[in-house]
Each structure stands twice: as structure tokens, then as C-alpha cells.
Structure 1
Amino acid sequence: MEQRVTPRAADAVGAKAATADVTVAKAGGPRGEGAAATGVKGDAGAGAVTGARGEAAGGAPRAGRSGDGPGGGDVRRRVPRTDVLLRDPRLAAAVERLGQAVVKAAVREAQQWARDGRVPPERVPETALGLLPGTASGLRPVINATGVLLHTNLGRAPLSDAARQAVAEAAGPTDVELDLTTGVRARRGRSALAALRERVPAAGDAHVVNNGAAALVLAATALAAGKEIVVSRGEMVEIGDGFRLPDLLVSTGARLREVGTTNRTTAADYADAIGPGTGFVLKVHPSNFRITGFTRSAEVGELAGLGVPVVVDIGSGLLAPHPALPEEPDAATQLRAGAALVTASGDKLLGGPQCGLLLGDRDLVRALARHPLARALRVDKLTLAALEATLSGPPTPTARALTADPAGLRARADRLAAELGAHGIDVRAVDSTATVGGGGAPGVELPSVALSLPEPYAAALRTGRLPVVGRLEAGRCLLDLRAVPPADDERLARAVRSAGTEGRRA
């Protein structure tokens, strides 16, 4: 693995003090892992994305701190009362949409702005409206311009329009466990599971749990509690945010039998370790790092005849081979090679919601689905709806980003740069390199194109009304377009223009 430490200067428009961020790059892994999401290329579990709440209100000129209003009265006495403001039809409608507590907090903040002289009292209602969040949730939509397609800090795979529509429709009462024809209880998520089996015909059956780690925990608990799991030393990985595979597996009551060495493990190493106490052989794809040089790894086909089930954790959720990722393992190939069970994540290369996929031998999968732990790990109806739409619907945003034409990215970047340059912004289109991220395709670099802006734009964009997260490189803020859908180009341009305006005010 390669580590690189890059200092950077203050990334706030008009900032007077300098700060420093640390970014770490790993082969095939996220760039900037462990750093706060400050416009660096990153995939850190520890980072936090924060933003300002009201660009429209924040742009208002200061009204001054004079205590005298027209006629010599104290201007603070003219600040509208809370109950009066809440009767404003616009704020009353916001209460229905966001809840009274959220709206009242914005009203009180706007009132304080008026008392401080930041806005005139008559502008308090508009200021409160500008301070309101878009939804009742604390999560804010952002534009991912980092160049990391599956950015863990930004929620990994964005859902397709079809999946979002399916989630909206499933939010009310649904037939998730009811057969409407017969009126009796039915298998939960049956249509989503059918769609998954259709996408992976080599699987005898399929099951879905709430994430990829849960899929492996269910397999270990059901197949190896009190027994041994045979695994290569070179595949004892840390999966992110401090969670390590050995700790995860041991927590199920299984014992780990390590074989081989960090860089070389042969089929004979596995065979020598198998005995009456073996639960299964585990193969783990080291999806967030790469070992090169004098290496050897036993293939699934070599292990399938050892007399115990072979469980393969492919991690990234690729269901079939992908031409852009020739070295990334996929579920179909592993099952055809003899794996009894394949586990994977749904929110990575599959491009769907967070969930864990289990595919494999029919009897084995059904036994896992009936295990008591499966109840604790089951997914909700919204996840099932999003997963089915991902599997059966049009190409996902992740799939489109993977296959984006560099020439098309260049044309978009040139057009945006020309448009923004006409507004006096220091911007140019530059060649860039994107990565898959999310613990997938280590070492794979995807040619891309980015907008290059002065470094202070990083913080201004990140904290704007519509947050845009880019990365810092060579003293410039880069907005990589590979993960930005073309439909978001105008929103991106608007955010850049707004950041430039705020910078000139500062």
C-alpha cells in the first residue's frame, strides 16, 4: 500500500488563517481516507460533511447595530414575535412539511439575526424561510465531484430514478408479506429475490440481509459456530472504520484457522488444515488493497473438491464480469467455479441500496434464511423495493459512471468552464483520474475530466446551499465529472457561481 501525505492551505473563501488536512491514498482504496470531507478525494468513515443552512438568508447585507430605528425607537422592538411569524402562510406551510420544532428553530435564529443587526426586522420571515432545511431529515443531498464513484462518506452508490420511485411507492402499506391473490401470508421480498436469481442464474437461491458484513456473519454463525473457518493469512482484512474481519468472524463463535502466508497461500495449505472440525473454507477478496510481486492465491476451483463448503466474500457486489474491471471477482464466475455460497454488498458496484447478498446452493441458502439470526438481519420493505428496481430497471448511476466516455466528459467540462469563465470565475477544464472506491477494484484508475478552481472554492462549495464535495490537488479544487450525472451540470454550475459570489463578498 502507498501512503501519501499532502498539506493544504486554508480552503475557505477569503480565509485569513491556514489549516492543514491529511490525506491518505491506498492502492485501489479511497483517496483521503480518515480525513474530514473537506474537498479532498476521500472515502473515510471518520469524515463528516457539514454545511451552512441558508445561503439565501446569509447573503443579506448587514443592517447595522444601531439601536435607533426610524423615529428614534429601538430597532429590536420591531422584531416580529414568534407566534406572529408562525402564522405567516409560508411558515405555516413549512410546519406541515418539516414540523413545528424545525420551523421554530429557524424563526428564532432569524429573530436573533435581526436583533444583532444582520437583517432588518421586516426581513425576518424571508430570513427564516431561507434558514429552513430542505427536508425534516438531517441528511443533506450533495453533489459528489470527488472522482470516487462509490464514496463511503457520501453514502456509496446513488440510487437510480427507478429505485427512488420504487422506494417512494413502497413507503406506504405494501404487499411485502402478503399474496394479494390468495389473501395469505407470502415469502417476504419474493419479487426482489426472484429478480436477484434472474440476474445470477448460477445461484440455486438467494437471500438478502442488511449489509455485506451481516451476510458473512450469518454464514459463519449458521455454518461454523463452534467450528473452524479456514482462511488465508493474506485475506484477513480490515473492512473499514476499524472493523476487522477476524474480529467479526470470531464474534460468531467460530474459530479461525489461518493458513499460508501474507503473500502466498496454496490449495495444499487449505487441504492440510481441513478436518472434522472444519465449518467451511473462506475466500475473501481484498477489495481495498493490492499485494503485488511474489504472490500466489488458491482459486475457488482448486478448493471446491476439498469436502467442505467454500464461501466466497466478493465484497463489491459485481454480479457478472465487467469489461472495465477485468480483475474484479463476480458472483456468477465464483459460483460456476464451485463456490457453495457467495456474499456481497448491494450498495457498491451493483449500484443499489445498502444490503448484503447471499447467493448459492439452494438448500444452504434456505437453511441460512431460516436461521434465527436471519430475523435480526432482515431488510425492510424500502430496501427490497430499491433492490428490485436496481436489478430489473435501467442502468444505475454507478453503471453509467463506470462506462462514461472521456470525450463526453471533456465536452461537458469545456462547456461548463466556458460558461463559468464568462462570469469572471478562474476555472479551466483539466484531465483527471477517478477511482471506484467503496472497497472495490483496487488499483483501477478511470480517465476523467474535472473543473479546476482556486483552492478556497473547496470549503465554499462544501458549505453552500447545495453542498458540492470535490478534492484538493496541487493547490486547486478539482470537481471531477465522472460521478456527476449530466443532469446535474446546471446545479453544479449554479453552486460554483454562488460560491464565487460569496467569495467576492468576503
Structure 2
Amino acid sequence: MPADSSTDDPRRAVPRTDALLAAPAVQAAVQRLGRELVKAAVQRVQGRIRDGGLPAGDAVDAVLAALPLTAGSLRPVLNATGVLVHTNLGRAPLSAAAVEAIAAAAGTTDVELDLRTGRRGPRGAAAIDALLEAVPAAEAAIVVNNCAAALALVATALGQGRELVLARGELVEIGDGFRIPDLLESTGAGLREVGTTNRVTLDDYLAALSPDTGAVLKVHPSNFVVRGFTRAVPVRDLAEGLAGTGVPLVADVGSGLLRPHPLLPDEPDLQSTLADGADLVVASGDKLLGGPQAGLVLGRADLVQRLRRHPLYRALRVDKTTLAALEATLRGPLPPVPQLLAAEPAVLTARARAVADRLTAAGVDAHVVAADARVGGGGAPEQPLPGVAISLPPTFAEPLRLGGRPVVGYLEDGRTLLNLRSLAPEDDGALTDAVLEVAAAWT
């Protein structure tokens, strides 16, 4: 008589949901991540056991392995693209000091309380002080949630029902289809375009001034370059030309570079732009500054106060964690983006050789090659940065991107390149392990 085959049915071995959830390690995960998220992982593991792809005795370990690092869906990614400030990868990675500051600010804090008096205090005063210390040419500053918000606040407060004068060649698109003229006009400001696409003079600006002029706006075209028969008016010349007119000069410098940088000679910075006579500057906090997403507005105290008192400011201001991260970025150790920008080619080459040696020793076809890097994030679009990359076969690109610790590189000339210029030195080990994991899956 044949044996009862039902005893061999893997479905009979599937652990019950309540039993798996009651396991101590799984219970700890529930406390950290929440019951529903952990339960979903349990159900996926039960499905693998039911299909015969996983032994029932490995259920708890499989559940723990299937859980995300956090209750959120965002995953840490190794940026090997060679783009230091990659918009699709969250722009600037925060410094350890900024991350610690966010954790400290996550609970109940004194964000708007003066502990000495017990009364309400100025919101984000310490972050503003740090910003003013970093840019001494500014009299005052405020922080909003991104650079577009900063520009919208300026346009609303200074240009609503009036005209903003700006060069036709600076009516730029800032990404994902968002255009500067559309943003400005949405605030109720009128636009007075001057000059041509490729050339504008000081006289063009001055001829456009009228009693309806709210401000002159100069926008740095950060994500493209116009070459050839061109002419632009520097901030210093514009400031001198506007002297005595009472018309504010506002400069959008984009990238958040605090001071001039020798590797980026054409990138405007906040300190120099204000010193050259701009009344207000706006910039991003999460690009070359290397901090959290934020829009920075610095300049004349009376104009900054005018923005601060505008009703729109309340809708655009940042939260306590952003203020904490910004202050720590400014006061703490050099953030990752400035560190990556300052990387020495010889050091990059030594790192790349160490990674490649470990990979080749494991049988991976890896080579060290020269590869230019870029600032990214709309900054210094034609300024290459000397970089070094690990060259792998093209078949590595997709599995690296889909691995347990995703690695985003790029394909070029029939090879996968992992550029170390955009990767922190402490991540070289994780990069190597990710490549080895992919290679092991094919053997």
C-alpha cells in the first residue's frame, strides 16, 4: 500500500503566523518597524515555504532578512555615478554631525523657546547665526524649504502686482519641466524681459526700470552654458548701475557655494555675490553647501525682514530637523559633498586599486580606469572633475542596482563603471562586497 504522500506536502510544515510573530527576534522587529510591515514579511516567507523553496526551520531567519532597515521605503544607495550631487539619489548626503543633530531634534526641543526666560524665542536662531557667520557679507537670513520656494517668496514679496526685470537668457528651466518664468508669474509678478537670448547689457536693464519695477533679478543658468557671441552683466556692474534707484537687486546663485572654490572658477558663491552688491541672494542648502534640502535667502536686513513678515513665509518655513541639520552642516566637520569635491586624484587611484585587487583576487574581471566626474545638481555643468572608476563587464550594472545594498553606476563604452569620486572612502568595502555578491550569484 503506498505511503500517504500528504506527509511530504510542504504546506503542512508552514509555521503559523502567530507563532512566527511571537518569536523573540521577530517581536523586537515589530516594536521597531510596526506589526503590519513585519506581518507582510512573515506572509512572504510562508509563501516561500509553501512553494518548497525554503525549509520551515529557516523561517525566522528568513523573516528577519526580508525586513527593511526602517519603517520607511527609502533605501540607502551607494552612489558610484561620478555625480557628486545627484538629484535622483537625494542630492547631498548629510554629514554624521547633521544626522546626529536631526536625531537630537526629533523629539521635544527648544526650537521656539528661550529656556532662560521661559518665553517664546526666535525660531531657528542658532541656524541663522551659523549661516551669517559663514557668509559675513549678509546682514540677515531666513531659511525656507528649497531654492524655488525662496525665489517664490522673493517674487511674491517684492514683485506681486509689479514687474521683475530679468535677462531673457536667464529664463531657465530648473528640472522636471519647472521653469523660472512660470514660477515667477504664478506669484502674481509681471516679467519684464531684457536683452536677447545670448546678449544683454547694463543699458538694457536700466531702460526697463519704471515705477512698477519691484526688483531686478539675476538668475545663474546653472545647468547649461551659452558660448560664442554672448554677453552678460556681472552683479557688480548691475549693483553700480542700480545705485540710487531704490530697486533691489536679487541674485539666484543656485548651488549654495558659500565662498569661491578653486575647482569651480565659474560658479557664483554667496559671499562674493553679496560683496559685489546684490541686495539679496537665494541658493540651495542641499547642493554644494552639503546640507539638507533648504532654500537660503541672505542679504539686506530690511528686505529679509520684509520676507519674514510676509504671510507666505509661514507656509514655506522649514521644520526643526532641517534647522538642526543645517546648523550642524555649517558648524560641524566638513560635510561629504565638499569632501568629495576636494578628493585628491592620487588618493582616488589608490582606493580604486585596492578595490580592484580584491575583486580580481576573487576572479572578477575588474580594472582601474580614469573617468571624469561632475558636480551635478545643476552646478558647474561644464567643469569636469578628475575621477577614477572600477571597470566591470556591462552585465554587472543591473544586478548591482537591484542588490541588497543597491549600487548605482553607469554604462559607458560597453562596460559598467563605478566612479569613486562620488563615493565616500568608508563605503569602499560595501561597494566591493556588493560586486562580490553579484559575482557569487553567477558561479
Q: Per the shorter chain, which TM-score range?
A: over 0.9
The secondary structure found in structure 1 opposite 2:386 is: strand
Q: Counterparts of 2:50 and 2:31 in 1: how far apart (Å)?
A: 27
Runs of 4+ in 1 over 6 A off after TM superposition: 68-71
SS of structure 1 residue aligned to 2:422: coil
Query: How far 1:234 sits from its partner (Å)?
Result: 0.4
Q: Where does residue 116 of structure 1 map in the other structure?
A: 51
Summarize deviations over 1:252-272 as a string: whole Å, max 9, x none. 000111110111001111111
Q: Are residue 501 (structure 1) and residue 436 (structure 2) matched?
A: no
2:93: which partner in 1? 158
| Contact 1:316 1:344 (8 Å CA) reproduced | yes
Q: What percentage of residue pairs aligned between the two structures are identical?
A: 60
Contact 2:198/2:226 (CA < 8 Å) preserved in 1? yes
Gap regions ≥5 residues in structure 1: 1-67
Following superposition, the deviation at residue 458 of structure 1 comes to 0.8
Aligned residues: 437
What is aligned with 1:311? Answer: 250
1:363 maps onto 2:302 in alignment: yes
**Structure with a larger share of its residues in helix:** 2
The farther-off stretch of 68-77 and 303-312 is 68-77
- Which string of whole-angstrom CA distances, capped at 9 and with x for unpartnered residues, describes residues 268-289 of structure 1? 1111111011010000000000
Kindly provide the CA deviation profile for residues 10-66 of structure 1, in whole angstroms up to 9, marking residues without a partner as x.
xxxxxxxxxxxxxxxxxxxxxxxxxxxxxxxxxxxxxxxxxxxxxxxxxxxxxxxxx
Unpaired stretches in structure 2, ≥5 consecutive residues: none
* 1:309-330 Cα distance to aligned partner (Å, 9 max, x none): 1100000001111111111001
Measured against aligned partners, the alpha-carbon deviations of 1:468-502 in whole angstroms (never above 9, x if no partner) come to 11111111111100111111111111111111112
CA distance in 2, matches of 1:124, 1:70: 23
CA change 1:332–1:96 in 2 (3 A) is: same
Secondary structure at the aligned position of 2:411 is classed as strand
How far did 1:71 drift?
8.1
Give the counterpart of 2:374 among 417, 428, 435.
435
C-alpha RMSD of matched pairs (Å) = 1.2
Does residue 1:140 correspond to 2:75, yes or no? yes
Question: Which aligned pairs between 1:297-446 and structure 2 lie closer than 5 A?
Answer: 297-304=232-239, 305-306=241-242, 307=245, 308-446=247-385
Displacement after TM superposition at 1:229 (Å): 0.5
Give CA-to-partner distance per residue, 1:171-196, whole Å, 9 cap, x none: 11111001111111110000000000
Contact kept? 1:69, 1:75, Cα under 8 Å: no
Structure number with higher relative contact order (C-alpha < 8 Å, ≥ 6 residues apart): 1
Aligned partner of 1:99 in structure 2 is 34
The alignment's TM-score, normalised by the length of structure 1, stands at 0.85
- State the secondary structure of the residue aligned to 1:247: helix
Q: Aligned equivalents of 1:313 and 1:503: distance in 2? A: 50
Return the alpha-carbon distance in structure 2 between the equivalents of residues 367 and 288 of structure 1.
30
Q: Which amino acid aligns with 1:436?
A: V
Aligned AA for 2:61? E
Q: TM-score, normalised by structure 2?
A: 0.97
Task: Return the offset for 1:120.
Answer: 1.9
Q: Distance in 2 between matches of 1:480 and 1:457?
A: 14
Report the secondary structure of 1:264's partner residue.
coil
Counterparts of 2:137 and 2:31 in 1: how far apart (Å)? 50
The answer for the alignment partner of 2:118 in structure 1 is 183
Q: CA deviation at 1:303?
A: 1.7
| SS of 2:114 mapped into structure 1 | coil
- Once the two structures are TM-superposed, the CA of residue 73 in structure 1 deviates from its matched residue by 3.3
Shift of 1:121: 2.2
| Distance (whole Å) between structure 2 residues aligned to residue 70 and residue 406 of structure 1 | 66
Letter in 1 for 2:297: L
For residues 473 and 219 of structure 1, the distance between their equivalents in structure 2, rounded to whole angstroms, comes to: 42
Conservation of the 8 A alpha-carbon contact between 2:367 and 2:391: yes
Residue number among 136, 152, 164 corresponding to 1:201 in the alignment: 136
Cα distance in 1, alignment partners of residues 158 and 14 from structure 2: 68
Alignment of 1:196-345 (within 5 A): 196-304=131-239, 305-306=241-242, 307=245, 308-345=247-284
Residue 383 of structure 2 aligns to a residue whose secondary structure is: coil
Letter of the aligned partner of 2:390 in structure 1?
Answer: L
